[in-house]
Structure 1
Amino acid sequence: MVDFTQASARPRPERAIEALGDAFYDEVAGARFSQTILRWRNDRAAEQVGLDSMDDEAWVAHFGRFEPIAGSLPAPLALRYHGHQFRTYNPEIGDGRGFLFAQLRDDAGRLMDLGTKGSGQTPYSRFGDGRLTLKGAVRELLATEMLEALNVPTSRTFSIIETGEALERNDEPSPTRGAVLVRLSHGHIRIGTFQRLAYLRDAESMATLVEYCLKQFYDEPAGPDAAARLLGHVVSQTALLAARYMAAGFVHGVLNTDNINVSGESFDYGPWRFAPTWDPGFTAAYFDHAGLYAFGRQAEAIHWNCMQLAVSLRTISEAPPLIEALDGFSHAYQAAVTDALFWRLGVTPLGGDRDRATIEAIERGLREAGVGIDAFFHRSFGGDIPADFGSAFADARAALSPYASRKSRSDSYWEGPPASMLIDEVETLWSAIDQRDDWTPLMEKLSHIRMMGQALA
């Protein structure tokens, strides 16, 4: 075990989750892997939690063999929760192939979790093997890096270690390579965590959980209106998340209540896709036959999930303040989606009805013209929509004329191609790894994505 507490003032290990008590989790042991080959370490994220000075040997010891980080959790914890999965309630889920490995404070003082994916079986694995494919890990890395660059609040892929295992899967060619992933995120408390307590009618634990979330995620004390205040925060933060999904052209694919973090941070990436065009009916998951989580229905889905949180909080709160908090979703979403689209377009909002009309004109043009989302925002950054995108954008061009651009002419990113992440690109990047063990195209793509993030910022 590396004792960072003796080495310096950083990192700042935490064990805050233990304040909830063992009714919220099960202590588990990580899987033992035949190999531990370091494939990705996110030093940018590691610097924010004081782990960037760790050498590769120590990195693999912690994130491939799960040796505890001194001062943090002495053993991994599989968190307990329930959830609606495609609107069907399931009380038999929980952390089935991952666990909470450690907690630390970041350089802004926020509580951060290091959680795993593919780290072995837990009491909630059911019939699963608790493992993750290397392709699944690479896909999550691509999703999180792209979303971070596009200003979407997201978990970050902290570490990927290949495990030397050959896994059998029904939805991809098998045997396929195995991996264990570690993600860094602002908590792992889900709407489904609250649903489990409501299902058990455990008012005391519900109050404890509300207090924990207010303190750790929103820096507020508990009080007589604690449940409604927490719901209000979750409503505003998840409305922001839904809005930024839209501006990014992103489809999460599985917006179940167990996949919605009450900190408002996106995480747990499975069948995600970026929409090629502004098609509200575009879906990511092949099993989403009804289009429940389609591109244009994500705000509706997240609002429905917030309603399930409100239902759960009725365990300790009267209905009127919860209803009032829920009613704020629509306004919060409309304001956030306007800001998010202007941000990606690179212009400064003017405010009021003019902004809403401009956004409507842009969305109308995107639907009618069928141009690529990434190409549109890349070539139109600064508010000047190219003429070759056609007459569908005539209203949008006129509407944008009084807006000020924040485009930096000195940034060379805008002179090259857009950083995109469509399904064919993902498959090409994976093919290079799968067939030739060539990681160069992936690393070049990640570098291009980070260049876009710097240009947009």
Structure 2
Amino acid sequence: MSAEHTNVPTSTAGGDHPAAHEHPVALGDAFARALPELAVPWEATRFERPELLELNEPLAAELGIDPGWLRSEPGVRFLLGDELAPGSSPVAQAYAGHQFGVYVPRLGDGRALLLGEARDASGSLRDLHLKGSGRTPFARGGDGFAAVGPMLREYLMGEAMHALGIPTTRALAVVATGGRVMRDDSLDPLPGAVLVRAASSHLRVGSFQYARSLADRGALRRLTDFAVARHFPEARDDGRPALRLLEGVVERQARLVASWMLVGFVHGVMNTDNTAISGETIDYGPCAFLDAYDPTAAFSSIDHAGRYAYGRQPGIALWNLTRLAEALLPLLAEQSDEAADAGDAAMEAAKDTALAALDAFAPAYDRAWTDGMRAKLGLVGSAAPDEQVRGLASALLAELQEHRIDFTGAFRALADTARGREESLRGLFPAGAAPGPWLGEWRALSLDPAAMDAANPAYVPRNHLADEALAAATAGDLASFERMLDAVTSPFEPREGLERYALPAPPGAPRHVTYCGT
């Protein structure tokens, strides 16, 4: 069992706990107050037999919340949204979104609630948000609940991404509800659970699409000001907050998606309602990590055309950002130099401004990807120009694709090669095949294998092992989940006994398929 991420039963022990006299958590309701058009007050379902399955102690410490209290009965009731903290006004958030390219004008939190905003140890605001807490007015069919497996999956993936240094939402806790839920991919009822998620915010591209659809420029303006104050405070007095917001989100999304590509992560459902303004990874539904390198890899059971395949992620991110730019056009027009002119002139100027902001995506992405690949290839201290780094990386990736070689394992083996153990990399190639001329060119450069170890994880959440662990957890055994969580939250240091977590699925394993369980 992990020493930090603990699974414990709800405690009902008495005693003079400090929380007995005052609530140990204070939450704000800034979103609910600032944007009532995008917030519907709502209450979470009260579950009668909850049990705390996982508690993220490091995150609780960041949020200034006593883990011991969170394990108590009042603490668990707080996590479920039953016992509200001072200042908490739970709301279901409204947003729109393009889902697989099709615009849906009203989505929203169908089975989720924003409890409020907490201030972490750095002074930054963090949303606390529930998932699986029951139907809301935005529910699109279904019961509004969630199953243990998908909630633990989001916990696992978020902590793995955090350990990899990738911006992400994180789970504070997973609480079993004691109830059962029916799902199409299971013939039997599954144990229910609620995820408690922390995020810099839950503002999405879809939030701005919804605000634009209201034909209320005041709401769009307040949303923009709220987002700028939350995520880009340096631009609050700039005079063109909508433009600064767009530029900032373009930059953050470019770096985020580059970081996904560098570790072989496939989000799986890059709808505009899953594109966070904060630049954090959000919503770990049908996500997966590559085993064999394949730009066409798509694992989602519903992504039949491969719209969100691994290699398409940068292009989809730019497509989503274009939708954000469209939503912001009225504000870009009124904040342009032509704002005093006729409406058409101002709008044309706004479109040019938006296009210029979007044009920054490709160079920002290329810079982040090249810098990351330089680190993965051990060339941070090398004088090799960027063009050479990109050429070496492209040649390597082409061979990984041709021979269906494990992406994560190849880069770890490359570090061994930098230390003179070339058999590690060559052993990944099939009989009769070997690395091409790029290998000699790379070895002739100034290499830093220790830096490679720090940039290339030994452990990522292997798809087949995650499925195995989640199936066991659904059946009531959390041991496999805890072992995997332990591996992926310290991903860069190989440890004895964790060898299987560094290996891809065995040859002949069926194609991995993921579902939108979250």
1:364 aligned partner: 398
Q: Residue by residue, what CA displacement relative to the aligned partner does 1:371-421 show, whole Å, maximum 9, x if unpaired?
A: 11121123334772633234235404522542442617999xx9xx93232
Change (3 A) 1:379 1:396: same
Q: Distance in 1 between matches of 2:242 and 2:18?
A: 39
1:299 and 1:366 mapped to 2: Cα distance?
A: 20
Q: In structure 2, what is the equivalent of residue 430 of structure 1?
A: 470
CA distance in 2, matches of 1:138, 1:132: 11
- Please, which of 225, 247, 265 is the counterpart of residue 232 of structure 1? 247
**Contact between 1:235 and 1:306, CA under 8 Å: does it hold in 2?**
yes
Tell me what 2:516 maps to: none
Q: What CA distance in whole angstroms lies between the structure 2 residues aligned with 1:314 and 1:3? A: 51
Cα deviation digits, residues 11-60 of structure 1 (max 9, x gap): 67433324523112011000111311100010111111111444211430
Taking the aligned partners of 1:409 and 1:214, their CA distance within structure 2 comes to: 36
Work out the percentage of aligned pairs sharing the same amino acid: 30
Q: Name the residue aligned to 2:42.
A: 28
Change (3 A) 1:364 1:52: farther
Report if the CA contact (8 A) 1:214-1:222 is conserved. no
| Pick aligned residue for 1:378 from 387, 407, 412 | 412
Which residue among 45, 54, 77 is the counterpart of 1:61?
Answer: 77
Give the whole-Å Cα distance in 2 for the aligned partners of 1:169 and 1:265: 28
* Deviation at residue 7 of structure 1 after TM alignment: 7.5
Q: Does 1:421 align with 2:461?
A: yes
Question: CA separation in 2, counterparts of 1:245 and 1:408?
Answer: 19
Compared CA separation, residues 394 and 157, structure 1 to 2 (3 A): farther
For residue 216 of structure 1, give the secondary structure of its aligned residue in structure 2. Answer: helix
Q: What TM-score comes out, normalization by structure 1 length?
A: 0.90
On the 8 A contact 1:198/1:313 being kept in 2, the answer is: yes
Q: Which residue of 1 aligns with 2:331?
A: 316
- The counterpart of 2:219, out of the listed 171, 184, 205, is 205
Gaps of 5+ in 1: none
> Size of the alignment, in residue pairs?
446
Query: Which of residues 269, 272, 276 in structure 2 aligns to 1:261?
Result: 276
Residue type of the alignment partner of 1:402 = L
CA distance in 2 between counterparts of 1:87 and 1:197 reads 19
Instruction: Give the direction of change, closer, same or farther, for the CA distance of 1:20–1:453 in structure 2 (3 Å limit).
Output: farther
The answer to whether residue 435 in structure 2 is matched with residue 395 in structure 1 is: no
- What is the Cα deviation at residue 3 of structure 1? 8.8
C-alpha separation in 2, matches of 1:27 and 1:201 = 22
TM-score by length of 2: 0.80
Greater CA deviation, 281-290 or 102-111?
102-111
CA shift for structure 1 position 98? 0.5
Structure 2: distance between partners of 1:76 and 1:439: 31
Change (3 A) 1:349 1:293: farther
Equivalence map 1:153-168=2 (5 Å): 153-168=167-182
Distance of aligned partners of 1:377 and 1:223 in 2 relative to their CA distance in 1, 3 Å threshold:
same
Q: Identify unmatched segments of 5+ residues in structure 2.
A: 1-16, 333-349, 495-518
Bigger Rg, structure 1 or 2 = 2
Whether 2:482 is the aligned partner of 1:443: answer yes
Q: Deviations over 1:100-129 (max 9, x none)?
A: 112112222222111111011111013121
Mapped partners of 2:409, 2:287: distance in 1: 20
Q: CA deviation at 1:345?
A: 5.0
* Residue 127 (1) aligns with residue 141 (2): yes
Does the alignment pair 1:94 with 2:105?
no
Secondary structure at 2:276 match in 1: coil
Alignment RMSD (CA, Å): 2.6
Partner of 2:160: 146
2:183 maps to 1:169 = yes
What amino acid sits opposite 1:302 in the alignment? A
Q: Which residue of 2 aligns with 1:189?
A: 203
SS in 1 for 2:330: coil
Q: Read off the aligned partner of 1:395 and give its amino acid letter.
A: W
Pick which of 20-29 and 302-311 moved more. 20-29
CA displacement 1:285-334 (0-9 Å, x = unmatched): 11111110001001111110000000110121122221111001111111
